[in-house]
Structure 1
Amino acid sequence: MPTAPHPQSTDELYRALQENDRRPYGRTRTVAAEELAAAAEQFEEPVPLVHALFELQEAYTYGSEPRKSPVVFARLLTLFDEQPDVFDERLRHMLFWRFKWVSNALRALPEIPLTSLRQWLTEMRDRYERAGFGLQPYYGQAYQLAAHLGEDTTLAYELWAARTRTRLSDCEACEICERALYHLVAGDDERALRTWEPVLAGKESCQEEPARSVSYALLPLLRTGRTDRARELHLAGYRACRRNPSMSGEVGRHLEFSALTGNEARGLELLAENRNLFDEVDSPLDLLDFLTGVEVLLRRVEFLGHGDLPAAGYAGRTWTVAGLRAEVRGRADDLAARFDARNGTTAHTDRRRERLDRAPLLDALELTLRTRGLDDVAPATPVAAPTARTATAVPEPLPELILRARELDAEGHPDAQACWARLRTLVAARDYVHPDDPAVGPLVRLRADLLADEASRAGDDEYAVAAGLYEEAAGLYDDAGEPGHAALAGACALLAAAETPAEGADGPETKAAALTAAHAAMVRLHEETPGLAPYQEARLLRMRATALGLRLQTSGSEEHVAPVLAEVDLLDAFATRHDVAGQISGALLLRASTYAISGDLPAAVTEADALLDRLKAHGPAWHLPRTLGLRGRLRLGLQDAPAAHADLSEALRLAADWPAEAVDTVRLHGDLAEACMHLGRPDEALRHLTRSAELDLRRGNRTDAFCTYSNAAQLSLDLGRVEDCIALLDSLLAEPDAVAGELDDRLVAQLRLTRARALHTGEDLKAATAEFVALASESAAWDDDPGSHAMIAAETAVLLGEAGDFGRAREAADQALAAHARAPRYEQLSNCVRELARLQAQQQGPDGLPGALAYLADAGRIADEARAAEYRAHGRSLDTALAYEHGRVNAYAGEYEDALAALEKALALLGEPGPGEDHAGEWAECVRLAGAVEGIYLERPAPALTRLDAAVSRLTALGHTEEAEPLVSLAARLRDEE
């Protein structure tokens, strides 16, 4: 199926070639190039065909199809021999440049005999000599062949490296890489890294650099102790080569780097992201490089005991790590043997063995903000996670296990979870036999216990599920003759049902009414249930107080405070009388929380202090982390960030002794992140945010986890950690539920939006623009949220403007303006269209003025609408900003009188700065631009100097010496030119 209409003229052909040149390398671009080359055959003049064949060869070369590239080049060489005049200087240069491409392609094919490789180099040398070109490029190819063969490269290297570069030499970046690799093979890591530095620092680059050099430099950086540099380059370098068939070898080296730094889980994640390479790489040499990197990773994972983990491999079947490793090993061994047979050496087999035998260089290097181990990607098991504290041993005899679970549960002890988990496994077994023991009771009682435990672990969004489980448990308890436990399960069911969102109901009033009813039903249940044990009655009182506390939290009504405190007093008195330690603590915690909800934070802190004193003296110890967490949050509310940080850090330290669910470590990490931000420690905050998110993810709270990760990504971007931000978002967006569309689409869109902004900040304009364009298209369908679409379309328009695509920028801006009409975003839209005006005038000069003025007219209408709506901008007024932009736009377009008039208007709107005013910088910049327009472009230095001198005097008198410096410099320039 054709990818584009068949060109009917050479102009159409050239346009189609230009459009194809903007596509990323891959099958779509290659198929289009094949169709365009075929279409070019219809034209009598040969030049269009030459252009089409060059485009086709480039598509094959960078699409990893080396078998086809030499065939196209042979056609070009024949055309050159038959009609040399068809090739102008640029086409002739391109032809001779691509002799090197053919050399690279032939080396990559083991079926090409070695004699043919040498004959091609001879052909290249003869052609270069006849054309009068220097031979340094030829010697470069001769050296690369020697290195490929594994011969002694000393002489070949000197013959190449000692020669002066020519116009046909490989680019500086590529030659630097080859020189560095020579030193690397010789075992001199330090010299290799010194050689590489201009490329690694971004001073030299090309189509494949610095990504190629980065992939080779990672291990030398580790071996020489430069771990931070290796981490930084891994993130940036991997992103530049991922999924790219022509850079599959580079991807393989990033997989190897992950395996040798304790990041095997990240390696499997990257392997999954590059699954396409198994089938799309047509270069045997690149494939060997890639597969060897894959095998290094898989071998390490299997060595660590995770050979049964799923792994992404060849399409058409499901792979485990062990199964894929065996497949990869066989294919890579065969490829290495074929190259060695062709070359008459053992170089490729030896290099493979050297890579596979490397020991890890580091036990653990934190590569990304989302640090995960192989256990995190293993299938979930029902066994409770181990804790730092030595937990109470789970008894092995079944009767003792059942009784111990109930004893711990009555205390509210966290170790009950491990006992219930073990019992759940035993009871589910087909050969389970229930003990015939009066102390244990019937099987129906145990099944009720397990249902109640399962209900207690339901997530915050599973209230209806929990309510159903509790109701079922209550029925089984009744059947077992346990009315006290039935009452407790029934009360839990009432509370869960009250928290379940009602269909069609809205507002907190509905939920508050449900909680009121639940409390009344609990009171009746309490009164109607005889023979309650003290711990059961205390737990019922606790639930009554909790229901009223949740009602207060929902309504925020002052009249709901006293009923909560009354119930808390009942609980406190009862628990104290019967010495139920856990419920005494619970009563004090509820009292502190009630004061906090009612807004009396000092009273809440006093209660928390008293509770902490009691817990340290009498326990239970597992309530300490939760209470410290509460006091930490209270202190945050009182603006005492240092004390809050201390409490929360201690809570987190103590929480390590207990299961995460018992003390809500997710929230502790989140609160610590907030405290760190207040203390100006954003990097520490970032660590806590990512830890909180990953814990939520492990507990199955995926929406909460993704929201927290979204905040972490934004924070990392704000901190300038662009590659960290992108790597984190890439990892999240590759999660199966994100790929399958099972997550909230707006949440996924937010992640993609942050990623697009990070790409823009990282100056990857092409990738950022593509993502913004896609998001703008998708958000156009958000009828319930036109404001978000307006913002996305506006940012898209600006990026298109930066890329010089003003036609599409205008379309995107019109989308933004249409959405703005439904949900106004005055300041943001004004900023967008003004920036587009500046970009168009700056890039196109006078030709861009009409389009720029049209954008400024849009900004004028937005300012009028904002004024009518009595909207106040957060920064300078929209009218002032508009006047200033009129000045800049007209200056770029050469309309200097109009520019000066607009700047005068902007200065009048701004007004001169006074003591303590914060617009001195804006005012000074406006004066500077007016001075430049008047003094330089309108050639009226005298009034310009009067303006500048007066402004300098005023700024200096107000103490704004830094803002005055550009004006002083401009004035000095004008005086020098007089």
Structure 2
Amino acid sequence: MPTAPHPQNTDELYQALQENDQRPYGRARTVTAEELVDAAEQFAEPVPLVRALLELQEAYTYGSEPRKSPVVFARLLTLFDEQPDIFDERLRHMLFWRFKWVSNALRQLPEIPLASMRQWLTEMRDRYEKAGLGLQPYYGQAYQLAAHVGEDITPAYELWAGRARTRLSDCEACEICERALYHLTAGDDERALRTWEPVLAGKESCQEEPARSLSYALLPLLRTGRPDRARDVHLAGYRGCRRNPSMPGEVGRHLEFCALTGNEARGLELLAENRSLFDEVDSPLGLLDFLTGVEVLLQRVESLGHGELPAAGYAGRTWTAVGLRAEVGGRADDLAARFDARNGTTAHTDRRRARLDREPLLDALELTLRPRSLDDVAPAAPVAAPASRTAATVPDALPELILQARELEEQGHPDAPACWARLRTLAAARDYTHPDDSAVGPLVQLRADLLADEAGRAGQRDEFADAAALHEEAAGLYEDAGMPGDAALARACALLAAAEIPADGADGAEAKAAVLTATHASMVRLQEQTPGLAPYQEARLLRLRATALGLRLQTTGSEEHVAPVFAEVDLLHAFATRHDVVGQISGALQLRASTYAISGDLPAAVAEIDALLDRLTAHGPAWHLPRTLGLRGRLRLGLQDAQAAHADLTEGLRLAADWPADAVDTSRLHGDLAQACMHLGRPDEALRHLTRSAELELRRGSRIDAFCTYSNAAQLSLDLGRVEDCIALLDSLLAEPDVAAGELDDRLAAQLRLTRARALHAGEDLKAATAEFVALAAESAGWDDDPGSHAMIAAETAVLLGESGEFGRAREVADQALAAHARAPRYELLSSCLRELARLQAQQQGRDGLADARAFLADAARIADEARAAAYEAQGRPLDSALAYEHGRVNAYAGEYEDALAALDKALALLGEPGPDADHAGEWAESVRLAGAVEGIYLERPAPALTRLDTAITRLTALGHTEETKPLTSLAAQLRDEE
């Protein structure tokens, strides 16, 4: 199927070639290039065919199809020999440059005899000499062949490296990499890294660099004690080669790096992301490099006892780590043997063995904001018992186990879930026999217990409908067992869970309050109508009643709902104290503190929590301490005492480690600590707590909450300038199966992608950022319920298209943003977008872009008029003065200097005289500076320009805005020097 319309003339062909050059390397680009060669052969002119063949060879070379590249080059060489005059200087340069591409392609194919490769190098040398070209590129290829074969490389290296570069030499970045690899082969890590520094620092780059050098530098950086630099290099380097069929070796080295730094779980994640390389890579040498890196990873996973973990491998079957390792190892051994047989050495087998024999270089190196172990990715990974206390022993004998589970459940003890989990497994077995023991009770009672435990866990996950149904089912079984007290408790829990189910509609809060009122009344009747309640059951019912009223107060915030909560809390506290139900005494005091907090009396809430902490320290239960400290920490945050909040929350986390993972909401403790850290100006620490909170939420099944927290962490990392961290985190999240399958909330997934697109832009990957923004703009166009978000995304997309010089597409997307803005106004956002597009077009196209730039500004003027009519006040720069300033800048770029000066004078008039506000003074000073430059330099009127500048400097200095005077002083000095 054609991928592009068939060109009807050479102009259309050249346009199609140009468009294809913008596509990423891969089958789509290659197929189109093949079609364009067929089209070029129909024209009488030979030059279009030459250009089409050059594009096709590039597609084969960077699309990892080395077998086809030399065939295309042979056609080009024949055309050159037959019609040398059709090759202008540029085409001739490209032809001789690509002798090196052919040399590289031949090295990748073990079926090409060594003699044929040497013959090709002789051909290259002869051609270069005949054309009067320097031989340094030839010697570079001779050195690379020697290194590939495994010969003594020093003579070949010196013949190449000692020669001066020519116009046909490889780029600086590529040659730096080859020199560094020479030192690396010699075992000199330090010298290799010094050689690589210009590339690692981003000073030299090309199509393959710095991704190639970064992948090779990973292990030397570790061996020389630079783990933090290695981490940064991994994040930046991996993004440059991921899913790239022309860089399989680079991907393999990143997998190896993960395996040798305790990041096996990340390695498996990256392997899954690059699964397509197993089938897409047509280069045997590149495949050998990739497979060896894969085997290093899988070997490490297997050695750690996780060989049965799933691993992404060849299409068509499901793989485990151990199974894929065997497959990969066999294929890689065969490839290495084929290369060695061709080369007459053991170099490739030896290099492969050296990689497989490497020991880990670090036990653990935190590579991303989402560090995970193999235990984390294993299905149903068991939760380790805490090390800081002795967990309650789960009895082996069934009767003792059942009785202990119930006793712990009565106490609200955090070890109860472990007992229920064990009982659930035993009771589900086909050979389960229930004890014939009156103390244990009938099987129906145990089934009810297990249902009640399952219902409680569903409620913790906010799955309220399931929780309500399970509690009701448990209540029925308790009644069958003749246990009315337990049945009443289960029914009360069902009532509360049902009341928690979110209500639809605008009056959702009012409806929920009414439901909670009815729920409380039902609980009161239930308690009154149930005879023979044990003290712990009655206390729990009172606690549920108080909780229902507390939720009602939380829902409405109404003052009239405060007193009923306190009344119920007092009942609970009095009853629990009278019967010494320790856990419920604590629960009552905590509810009282929460009620004070909800009603706005934070000091009283803190006083209650202080008293509760004293009681817990003296009388227990100890497992209530972490949660209570967490509450006091949140209250202190509300009182703006971030330091004290940080101390409480940190201590709460420390004590939470003494109990099973699900006993305390540690994810919330981490989230609150992140907030405290932000208040204290410690954003990096906040970031660690945010990511830890998210991962804990993910582990307990709260995926929406987890992804929301991760989204906040990604935004914070971007705000901190940790661009690669942000991208790596989001790549990991977007690769999660439910996200990739589109099962996550679509708006949340879009938010993750939007943050990633912004991070790509911040990381100066404009092409990738623009592609993601364009996709998001297209998707959000269908968000009829949220046109404001579409306006935002479309506006950002338009600006990125403008930065890429695609002003036609930018205009189309800006029009989409304007249409969405008409439904959900975003005055400031749209004005900023349109002004920036005008600036970009005038800056890039000068006078030729002036008309279109002014059209953008005309739209911005209409936005400003709408904002003024709606009495909208901008949060940033005033829209009218910002628009006048942009008119000045746009006209200056286009050479319309009188119009520019008039616009800037209007901007200054709209701004008015500067005052104490630094932002206003800065904007005013910038308008003066640009007006001075236009007037003094471009209109060649230095005298009035200097008067303008000197007056402004005096005014700003008097107001104390000395920083704002610096650009004005510099411009004034320049104008005086030119007089």
TM-score range, shorter chain: over 0.9
Please tell me whether residue 588 in structure 1 is matched to residue 589 in structure 2. yes
Q: Aligned pairs, how many?
A: 977
Match of 1:386 in 2: 385
- Structure 1 residue 480: Cα displacement: 1.0
Quick check: 2:517–2:549 contact (8 Å CA) kept in 1?
yes
Q: For residues 885 and 559 of structure 1, what CA distance do their matches in structure 2 show?
A: 55
* Identity, % of aligned positions: 87
What residue number does 1:655 align with?
A: 656
CA-CA distance at 1:503 after TM superposition: 5.9
CA offset at residue 948 of structure 1? 0.7
Equivalent pair of 2:312/2:319 in contact (CA under 8 Å): yes
Q: Does the Cα contact within 8 Å between 2:461 and 2:701 map onto a contact in 1? A: no
Number of the residue aligned with 2:337: 337
Name the SS of the counterpart of 1:659 in structure 2: coil
Structure 1 runs (4+) greater than 6 angstroms displaced: none
Shift of the alpha carbon at 1:867? 0.2
Is the contact made by 1:842 and 1:889 (CA closer than 8 Å) also made in structure 2? Answer: yes
Equivalent residue, structure 1, for 2:321: 321
> Aligned equivalents of 1:948 and 1:574: distance in 2?
80
* Secondary structure, counterpart of 2:246 in structure 1: helix
- Counterpart CA distance in 2 for 1:679 and 1:424 is 46
Checking the alignment, whether the CA contact within 8 Å between 2:464 and 2:497 is kept in structure 1 is yes
Instruction: Please list, as runs of the form range in 1=range in 2, the aligned pairs for 1:166-565 lying within 5 A after superposition.
Output: 166-380=166-380, 384-388=383-387, 389-458=389-458, 459-502=460-503, 506-565=507-566
TM-superposition CA deviations, 1:233-273 (whole Å, max 9, x none): 10010000000000000000000000000000000000000
Query: Residues 13 and 40 of structure 1 are in contact (CA less than 8 Å); yes or no, is this contact kept in structure 2?
Result: yes
| 8 Å Cα contact 2:925/2:952 also seen in 1 | yes
**2-side partners of 1:456 and 1:779: how far apart?**
38
Q: After superposition, where does 1:102-141 map in structure 2 within 5 Å?
A: 102-141=102-141
What amino acid is the match of 1:298?
L
1:976 positional shift: 1.2
Instruction: Give the CA deviation at 1:445.
Output: 0.6
Q: Is the 8 A contact 1:549 1:594 kept in 2?
A: yes
Q: Give the 5 Å matches for 1:843-882.
A: 843-882=844-883
Amino acid at match of 1:400: E
Match of 1:709 in 2: 710
Gaps of 5+ in 2: none
Secondary structure class of the residue paired with 1:140: helix
Distance 1:372 1:701 in 2: 17
Q: Deviations over 1:804-849 (max 9, x none)?
A: 0100010011110111011000001000000000000000000110
Asked if the contact 1:676/1:685 (under 8 Å) is kept, the reply is yes
- Structure-2 separation of matches of 1:424 and 1:242: 44
Deviation at 1:752, TM superposition (A): 0.5
Equivalent position amino acid for 1:47 in 2: V
Q: Aligned with 1:660: secondary structure? A: coil
- Give, as a single letter, the amino acid of the residue that structure 1 aligns with 2:478: Y
Shift of 1:559: 0.6
Tell me, in whole angstroms, the C-alpha distance in 1 between the residues paired with 2:17 and 2:504.
57
Q: Distance in 1 between matches of 2:667 and 2:579?
A: 34
Aligned match of 1:795: 796
Matches of 2:238 and 2:508 in 1, distance apart? 48
The change in CA–CA distance for 1:778 and 1:916 in structure 2 (over 3 A counts) is closer
Q: What is the letter of the counterpart of residue 157 of structure 1? A: Y
CA distance in structure 1 between the aligned counterparts of 2:502 and 2:479, rounded to whole angstroms: 28
Other-structure match for 1:97: 97
Q: Say what the alpha-carbon RMSD is for the aligned residues.
A: 0.9
CA contact (8 A) 1:797 1:808 kept: yes
Asked whether the 8 Å contact 1:793–1:812 carries over to 2, the reply is yes
In structure 1, stretches of 5+ residues that fail to align are: none
Distance 1:32 1:572 in 2: 78
Contact 1:556–1:598 (Cα < 8 Å) also in 2: yes
Residue 10 of structure 1 corresponds to 10
Q: Using a 3 Å threshold, how does the CA distance of structure 1 residues 22 and 927 change in structure 2: closer, same or farther?
A: same
Partners of 1:200 and 1:384 in 2: how far apart?
41
TM-score (norm 2): 0.99
CA contact (8 A) 1:384 1:417 kept: no
Deviation at 1:916, TM superposition (A): 4.8
Shift of 1:390: 2.5
Whole-Å separation in 1 of the counterparts to 2:821 and 2:2 = 39
* Cα distance in structure 1, aligned partners of 2:846 and 2:609: 67
Deviates more, 1:388-397 or 1:87-96: 388-397
Does structure 1 retain, via aligned residues, the 8 Å contact 2:383–2:661?
Answer: no
Deviations 1:253-299 (A, max 9, x none): 00000000000000000000000000000000000000000000000
| Equivalent position of 2:725 in the other structure | 724
Alignment of 1:891-910 (within 5 A): 891-910=892-911
Aligned partners of 1:644 and 1:675 also within 8 Å: yes
**Cα offsets for 1:633-674 (capped at 9, x unmatched):** 000001110000000000011011112322100110110000
| Aligned counterparts of 2:605 and 2:32: Cα–Cα separation in 1 | 70
Q: Return the alpha-carbon distance in structure 1 between the equivalents of residues 680 and 561 of structure 2.
A: 35
Label 1:505 to 1:400 Cα distance change in 2 as closer, same or farther (>3 A): farther
Distance 2:334 2:647 in 1: 60
Contact 1:189 1:220 in 2 (8 A): yes
Looking at structure 2, the residues matched to 728 and 108 of structure 1 have their Cα atoms a distance apart, in angstroms, of: 34
Cα distance in 1 for residues equivalent to 2:65 and 2:917: 66
Which residue is 2:79 aligned to?
Answer: 79
Are the counterparts in 2 of residues 384 and 421 from structure 1 also a CA contact under 8 Å?
Answer: no
Q: Secondary structure at the match of 2:712?
A: helix
| Residues 376-415 of structure 1 deviation map (CA, whole Å, 9 limit, x = unaligned) | 111125x554333331111111111111111111100000
Query: Is 1:732–1:738's contact at 8 Å kept on the other side of the alignment?
Result: yes
Question: CA offsets, 1:932-971, max 9 Å, x none?
Answer: 1011111111111111111111111222121111111111
Separation of aligned partners in 2, 1:919 and 1:499: 50
In structure 2, relative to structure 1, the CA distance for the partners of 1:825 and 1:441 (3 Å cut) is same
CA drift of 1:460 comes to 4.1
1:147-199 Cα deviation digits (max 9, x unpaired): 00111101010000001111111000000000000000100000000000000
